[in-house]
């Protein structure tokens, strides 16, 4: 195996020069993103440094309960992000519960199968394997769910009269909303599908690139990347389907009426 190349903080600071250049150009062109760029970069640095310290501590302790606690915290934060990224959101507990439950169920099942059946670390819950794998799958599922729910809520609000006309003509709620449910599911799944289509030709994914730079044989890096992409796409697809159907159900009632009053006003 090739020698592992260590980076210094000075190397990281040099790499940030390109980001600073983007900030200067955005100020010059008055794009209005300089503050967001600075805030996001600062937040990223702080979060990654804290995560690095936390993971180093978790790897040393090897506690299943602490690993579970961190996983639950990640899921809770992701559920909140799903809700926050929607332009039109479900009011009350439903707004968090639908996206969070769909993500937790799909990502949990896929991650458990990956750890117990496929990767098989010893122990299977080892944080060195469980948390990075869970994070990659959860991050993509979070994006897919937020896209699908945002698309569904926007479409239902825009096409309210057309849907209600179909309901008055005798269609049930699923028949009336079917085109918009399909559209929402496609929107949520499309980023993962596009990523699979472009991987290896247009881009080398971050995990594979990191493994190769750290000295892992490219053939082994390809195997792990294929595994991760299949897991990500499968979990995202299941999560998108569950969340979209759950939200469509929440926006109707047992009398097949459209209940857009359960959506918060335009954010």
More confident residue, 155 or 264: 155
Average pLDDT for residues 111-128, to the nearest whole number? 89
Average pLDDT for residues 191-204, to the nearest whole number? 77
Average pLDDT for residues 250-260, to the nearest whole number? 83
Can you tell me the distance from the alpha carbon of 19 to that of 17, in angstroms, rounded to the nearest whole number? 5
Range of weakest confidence among 48-57, 157-166, 175-184, 219-228: 219-228
In a domain, 267, yes or no: no
Among residues 61, 76, 99, the one where a domain terminates is: 61
Same domain flag for 137 and 8: no
Same domain flag for 140 and 206: yes
If one counts the domains in the chain, the total is 2
Same domain flag for 26 and 89: no
Same domain flag for 57 and 163: no
In a domain, 253, yes or no: yes
The three-class DSSP label of residue 33 is coil
What pLDDT digit, counting tens, does each position of 12-60 carry?
889 889 999 998 998 898 888 888 889 999 999 998 899 888 888 888 8
Question: What is the DSSP secondary-structure string of 58-106?
Answer: HHHH--HHHHHHHHHHHHHHHHHHHHHT-SS-B-HHHHHHHHHHHHHHH
Average per-residue pLDDT for the chain: 86
Could you tell me the pLDDT band of residue 217, with boundaries at 50, 70 and 90?
confident
Same domain flag for 41 and 21: yes
Average pLDDT for residues 55-78, to the nearest whole number? 88
Give which of 100, 101, 90 is closest to 250, Cα–Cα.
90
Peptide bond into 233 cis (omega under 30): no
Average pLDDT for residues 90-97, to the nearest whole number? 83
Domain limits at 39?
1-61
Q: What is the pTM of this model?
A: 0.81
């Amino acid at each position: 195996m090739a020698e592992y190349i260590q980076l210094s903080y000075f190397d990281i600071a040099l790499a940030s020069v390109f980001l600073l250049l983007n900030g200067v150009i955005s100020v010059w062109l008055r794009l209005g993103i300089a503050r967001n760029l600075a805030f996001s970069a600062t937040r990223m640095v702080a979060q990654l440094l804290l995560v690095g310290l936390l993971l180093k501590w978790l790897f040393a302790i090897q506690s299943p309960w602490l690993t579970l606690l961190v996983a639950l915290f990640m899921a809770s934060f992701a559920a909140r992000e799903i809700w926050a990224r929607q332009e039109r959101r479900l009011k009350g507990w439903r707004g968090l519960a639908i996206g969070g439950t769909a993500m937790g169920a799909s990502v949990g099942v896929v991650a458990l199968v990956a750890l117990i059946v496929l990767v098989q670390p010893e122990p299977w819950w080892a944080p060195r394997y469980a948390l990075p794998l869970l994070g990659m799958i959860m991050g993509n599922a979070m994006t897919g769910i937020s896209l699908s729910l945002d698309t569904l809520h926007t479409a239902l609000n825009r096409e309210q009269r057309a849907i209600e006309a179909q309901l008055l003509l005798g269609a049930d709620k699923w028949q009336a909303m079917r085109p918009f449910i399909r559209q929402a599911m496609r929107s949520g799944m499309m980023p993962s599908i596009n990523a699979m289509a472009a991987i290896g030709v247009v881009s080398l994914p971050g995990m594979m690139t990191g493994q190769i730079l750290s000295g892992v044989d490219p053939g082994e890096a390809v195997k792990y990347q294929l595994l991760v992409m299949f897991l990500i796409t499968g979990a995202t697809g299941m999560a998108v389907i569950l969340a979209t159907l759950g939200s469509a159900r929440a926006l109707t009632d047992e009398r097949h009426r459209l209940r857009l009053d359960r959506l918060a006003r335009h954010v």
